[in-house]
Amino acid sequence: MRRRAIIGLGGAALMARAARATLPDRAVLLAPGPGDARLAQLATRLAEALPPLLPTALHLSVSIAGGPDGVAAATRFAAGSGDASLLLLAGRAAAARLAGDSRARFDGSGWGGILVRPRRVVLAGRGAAPRPGTRLAIESAGSGEALGLLLAEGSEARLGVAPASVAQAFAEGAVDALFTTPEAASALGAAVWAALPQPGGALPIIGRDPALAEAARSAAASLTTEAALCAAALTPADQLAAWRWAAVRLAEREQGLLSGADAMAALAGLWAPEAAEAAWRNMLAGRLGAP
């Protein structure tokens, strides 16, 4: 049933174009490191799962670059240094670019979205609602958690709280609010204040500057996108179609993946126009003192 629905929504044309694709014998997928980290492991699984679903035989190898925030990998991919034709983009890398991180020297708005692994994220805290002085856990000025400053009125940032230690910081009373999964919020006894939409979905920010609201949607997408598989901007259309069709077939078999139009919308949601980026950076400068 699901396969017929996909074909009915344009999948037939995608499948036909993919069947005509001329693919190389080998390709390289660039992914954030270190090699034993979650995203590197995901890249390895995709490198094994996707090639058998392509119309012709292809060997896909994984190359590791930089750390888990994905900034180094995305910057290297954008520069075209190396032979990678695919990138596993970390959502955190998009947040760094939005914030104006000097390391994030890339523009991914022209990359082709193939597959996205989303994650469910909520803003949770002590009590039924935020209060003035609520201490919000934020890893850095370049992380998407700064979105909480808009969602939780009157909150104050507590910088330097790494994702790996945020639950402990909340349990010990060092912070009052955090972005986490619904399950983790329940385990911590934290009340859910806001549930972020699926990547590419709308984020209601009422009564705010439109540019800042648009930036907030991109920040939310950076939090709810664990990783996005992308093709370089100049990838031939038939090759991109082949990868996208393989991704559709993989998403039919494995839960928790976005493919097709959903993946393309999710990737597009990570990027904000210049006016929105400027509004976000001005907000960070005013609230966090970020340069």
Judge if 153 and 71 occupy the same domain: no
191 pLDDT more than 70: yes
The answer to whether the predicted template modeling score (pTM) of the entire model surpasses 0.95 is no
14 pLDDT more than 80: no
User: Could you tell me the residue range of the domain that residue 138 belongs to?
Assistant: 122-218+276-288
Judge if 156 and 89 occupy the same domain: no
Judge if 155 and 172 occupy the same domain: yes
CATH of the domain at 11: 3.40.190.150
Judge if 156 and 270 occupy the same domain: no
Tally of domains in the chain: 2
pLDDT band at 4 (very low <50, low <70, confident <90, very high): very low
Judge if 171 and 230 occupy the same domain: no
Judge if 282 and 175 occupy the same domain: yes
Question: How many angstroms separate the CA atoms of 256 and 275, rounded?
Answer: 33
Question: Which amino acid is residue 235, in one-letter code?
Answer: T
Judge if 152 and 174 occupy the same domain: yes
Judge if 182 and 81 occupy the same domain: no
pLDDT of residue 2: 46
Judge if 109 and 233 occupy the same domain: yes
Query: Which residue carries 């609602």 as its tokens?
Result: 129
What's the mean pLDDT in 112-132?
A: 95
Judge if 280 and 143 occupy the same domain: yes
pLDDT of residue 286: 93
Judge if 192 and 81 occupy the same domain: no
pLDDT of residue 289: 80
129 pLDDT more than 70: yes
Average pLDDT, the chain: 90
What's the mean pLDDT in 228-240?
A: 94
Judge if 47 and 81 occupy the same domain: yes
pLDDT band at 203 (very low <50, low <70, confident <90, very high): confident
pLDDT of residue 163: 81
- Could you tell me if 284 and 290 are in contact, meaning their C-beta atoms sit under 8 angstroms apart? yes
Q: Which among 97, 107, 90 has a CA at the least distance from the CA of 228?
A: 90
CATH of the domain at 171: 3.40.190
